Chains A and B, each alone.
Chain A
Amino acid sequence: MVQELRRFTVPITRPWLYRLIENPDSLPVETLDKLADLEGIQSKISQLIDENGDKALPAGQRSLWDRELIQPLYEALRNLPRKTLVDMRFWHWLCILPLQDFVWYRWHGYIPEHPRRALSEHHALVVRFTGTPTLNGFSRNALSRLYWCASTLYSENEGFYWVELALQNQDLYQAIFERKFSLYPPAVKACLKELKDRTETERREATRRLNHHLTTIVLETLSEDDIRQLINL
């Protein structure tokens, strides 16, 4: 069932996140005049929670939830205008209101009895619900990181193969998506293809070098194969 999409009127910061988690009416939302079917996403989240049962989700299993959610999330939102998808207020609304449970399970393992206490004890959790409109902000918000990974790497031919590979390793994901070259999809794919079997040190060094190349090379004029050669230099 399609529902009206909304966003907060201002980007949400920590003090307001505390209040919104306790009282969703603390700040007003505005309609985007856009519709999407979030039911598929919500069903998948409910299914994952049911399968998990009453226990906390172990840390080692949480990244699997990214792979489970990526397809319904991307399919529900892919037809929205880019202007909506680059607006962090929209992602804040999704993470804090309709899809909050996912964020808690994925990044905390369970829904805490005292959410405010959990957020103030685990500061890194805050950016999973919020985040600034920067490369770093998009790659840390629990849902925007999934969407933009899919938007960059999904193809009709290969489906979600490269998307799931990128999400498997948080360090690799951040090394790629928190750098400017990640805004050029062939560069991201080139990185994944070349670096997927390398050590963490090698990956970090290669992405750092590629970012440095941006000062003298116009990446947008190169093909994926050209960039793979550049990574191997």
Chain B
Amino acid sequence: MPVEVLYPYRTAAEMILLHLDIPERESSQDKEQILPIYLCKSSTITIRASAIVPNQVWQKVFCVSEQPNPPATLWLVVQSLESRLRKAYEFEGDQQIFELIVDLDRDEWAGNAEFQAVLVRSKLNKDLPAGYTGDLGARLAWSRTLSGAFEEPVPEQKDIIKIEWKKFEENQRSQLFMLEHSAPLPKLWLNANAEGLYDILNSRATRGWNPAIAEHTGYLIAHQVWTSLLASTISHLAETGQPDGQPDTTELLEWERMVLHDWIEALFPNQPREEAFKLLLDSVRHHYFRENLLVSRIPQAIQTRLRTASGFQHLVREAGK
């Protein structure tokens, strides 16, 4: 449905042409792209806006009596919910071609902003024929909305956990690994002080005891890590949502949601994903998740996915040689 039918008066939707560019970076707004304002390094960001208002626009939104001297101003409207800002900057022009230089303070803006050229009625007139608006401030015509990014987009988080090596302190020297429940990602620390651990886990050998030990140790660590992360995530899920309502995964951290998405099919095998999630939420909501999920399903899911049994058989074969 054309946007214009939503207005009780004549408008010219997206008939104004708006172009933005950043002189400092020689970047300009492309059709679908977001203007990368974040590439500017100066504290004041200069944006050059140019707009064209075709004759058809004036003829469409003003009645004959107002057309010789149409009471309207062209504005660049900039809105950003993330910055909590709504501002308008006045264009200068000759009724067809308009230009504007806007200086924006980098510290004022966050996230993304939307830019739109809007032709706005500048004088009240209550005596217009039907189909025309005489309201002060009325939107008469506008451009397509263009977006600008004040911050570099954050790449989509793909990893659930970060793995790093460090030398453990004296009181933890007997540990092979440590799991830290930190944000934005949990961290698995491997003990660089554990004799042989680094060499064996990084060994490229494919035969003999080393790969068998590496594989078994990997299983051992992975079992514990996933048990902890799954149990912790499910416990947190139980604390979300309204009383007597469904748990709410949006109240989890990003990595916790990723854990659930990654393991849902293993936790509820032979179920479509959507159904598996329903079963998970019901299980948590009705409080029987402790036995059902924590005691039964998590160990089964981990062993199936990591193929623990075949790891055991590999060890047995190596021992038999």
Chain A residues near B (Cβ < 8 Å)? 8-10, 13-16, 18, 26-28, 81-83, 86-87, 120, 123, 133-135, 138, 148, 180, 183-184, 215-222, 226, 230
Contacts and interface: CB of A to CB of B under 8 A. Distances in A.
B239 A219 contact: no
Contact of B240 (A10, A13, A83, A230): A13
A27 B114 CA distance: 34
B77 A218 contact: yes
B183 A28 contact: yes
Contacts of A87: 110
How big is chain B's contact interface, by range?
35 or more
B135 interface: yes
Contact of B107 (A8, A83, A123, A218): A83
Given A9-B183, A216-B139, A217-B138, A16 B107 contact: no
B222 interface: no
Contacts of A10: 183-184, 253-254
B183 A86 contact: no
A135 B184 contact: no
B307 interface: no
B270 interface: no
Contact of A15 (B77, B135, B251): B251
A26 B240 CA distance: 18
B76 to A, nearest CB: 10
Contacts of B87: 220
A82 B83 contact: yes
Contacts of A216: 7-8, 133, 135, 138-139
A230 B135 CA distance: 10
Contacts of A148: 84
B42 interface: no
Contacts of B254: 10
Contacts of B120: 218, 221
A102 B84 CA distance: 25
Interface string B153-165: 0000000000000
B252 A15 contact: yes
B60 interface: no
A14 B118 contact: no
